[in-house]
Amino acid sequence: MMKILSIQSLTLALTSTLFVACAQAESAVEFACKAPSEINDEQFKSLVTLGAQLANNQSKLDLPSNCAENVKVVDKTVRNPYRLALQVAAQQKSPSDLATALAEQQTPNMPLDQKAQLHSEWLRSIKVACGDHLACVKQTINAIPNFSVAESPIFCAFTRMADYSVQMHFQQQPKPSYPVACLGHSTLTAGAGLSPMQDWFEAYKLLGK
C-alpha cells in the first residue's frame, strides 16, 4: 500500500512539475509578443531561459497565432525584436535577421543617453537570441546596418577605441548606469577589477540571470 502511495505521489509530483514548466514556457512565448518597453526584468529572465532551451533543443518554439510581428519602439513601428530573438535561438532565423530589425529602431542624431538606453535594450534581445554564445553576439552586432560600434556606450567594447563622446559620457556626474557597458563601466560587475573587455563579457554573462 505504501509503495502504491509513493508511486502515486511521485507521479503527481512529476505531473505538477511538467505542468509548471509548460506554463512557464507558454508565458515566456507570450512575453515575446509584447513591445520591449512592456517586458519587465522577470519576464526577460524567462525569455533568456526559453532562448537557451530552444538553442539546446530542449524546447520547441510554438508562437501564438496572434503574436505581434511588429511593435512600437521609440515612436516607430518595427519588427518585433523578441519574437525574432526566439526564432534565432530556435534556428528559424539568422542573427543577421535580428540585426537588420534592430537597425530599424535607429534615429539620426539621437542623444547619447537615449542611444545607450536603446542599445541596452538591443543587448537584451541579443541575449535571448544568442545566450552566452559570444560568436553569435559578435555576428549580430557586426551585422547591424549603419551602426557605429565606436559611438555606442554599450557596444564600444567591440572596437579598438571608443569615440571621444562615449569616453566623455562616462565622466558625467551622476555617472550613467547600465548593466552592461563598455570601458569597464558595467554595473553588473562593479568593483570586480576586470579589464574593460573582460568586464563586458562577464557582465553580459550575468545579464538575465
Which pLDDT belongs to residue 22?
44
pLDDT for residue 23: 42
- 23-68 pLDDT, tens digit per residue, is 444 488 999 999 999 999 999 999 999 999 999 999 999 999 999 9
Q: Tell me the C-alpha distance between 82 and 149, whole Å.
A: 22
In the block, which residue shows the cell 526566439?
A: 86
Q: State which H helix or E strand residue 18 sits in.
A: helix 2-31
Provide, for the chain, the percentages of residues in helix, strand and coil under a 3-state DSSP scheme, each rounded to the nearest 5: 55, 5, 40
- Distances 87 to 13, 47, 189 between C-alpha atoms, Å: 32, 12, 30
Q: Which of 134, 119, 95 is nearest to 181 (CA)?
A: 119
Contact (CB, 8 A) for 127 and 154: no
| SS3 label, residue 26 | helix
Give the span between the Cα atoms of 142 and 100, in whole angstroms: 11
What's the rounded Cα separation, in Å, for the pair 144 and 99?
A: 5
Concatenated DSSP letters of 40-83: -HHHHHHHHHHHHHHHTTSS-----TT--SEEEETTEEEE-HHH
Q: φ, ψ for residue 67 (rounded to 5)?
A: -65, 125
In the predicted model, residues of the chain with pLDDT beneath 50 are 1-26
| Helix axis angle, 2-31 to 41-55, nearest 10° | 110
Contacts of 70 (CB under 8 A, 6+ apart): 77, 78, 79, 80
pLDDT of the residue at 191: 84
Of residues 166, 187, 106, the one with CA closest to residue 158: 166
pTM of the model: 0.85
